[in-house]
Structure formats: C-alpha cells, structure tokens
Amino acid sequence: MMNSRIISDPNICGGEPCVQGSRIPVHVILSHLAAGEDYETILKSFPRLKHEDILACLEYAAYLSTEKAVL
C-alpha cells in the first residue's frame, strides 16, 4: 500500500500525484530536492507541507523507480 499522503484524483491537477490536502504535485517537490534545496527551504516555500509529506514524495519516487519498462 502506498503512502496515504500521496493521492491521485482526476479532479485535482488532472490526476497528477499530489500531496494530500493540497494541489502540490509530487514532481514539484522532487524537482526542488533535485535542485539541491533542503527540507527547511522547501517547507518555507510550501507552508502547507509537513516534513512527512516530503518523505512521502521520496517514497513515491522510490516506488516508481522499481517499475520495469517493456522494450
């Protein structure tokens, strides 16, 4: 079972995976992390987020990285 902090609802952001209770897509948080921002900076930029939400985004990305591509 995936982390309940990440949702995908066709009525919110076109179904993109988002942090529950927000319209913040997972990919936005991951992009900030990839750019080298620390958790504190991200939390200041997105006041609705909690530390656990950032961890949930990372967990979601880790889960997706286990998907196998069929070539």
3-class state of residue 47 by DSSP: coil
Flag whether pLDDT at 71 surpasses 80: no
Q: What angle do CA 40, 66, 5 make, to 5 degrees?
A: 40
Q: What is the pLDDT of residues 6-30, one digit of tens each?
A: 999 999 999 999 999 999 999 999 9
pLDDT at 1: 41
3-class state of residue 24 by DSSP: coil
- Where exactly are the structural domains of the chain? 6-64
Question: What residue spans of the chain are helical by DSSP H?
Answer: 26-34, 39-45, 51-64
Protein fold of 6-64: Arc Repressor Mutant, subunit A (1.10.10)
Q: What is the pLDDT of residues 41-70, one digit of tens each?
A: 999 999 999 999 999 999 999 998 887 766
Calpha distance 4→20 (Å, rounded): 8
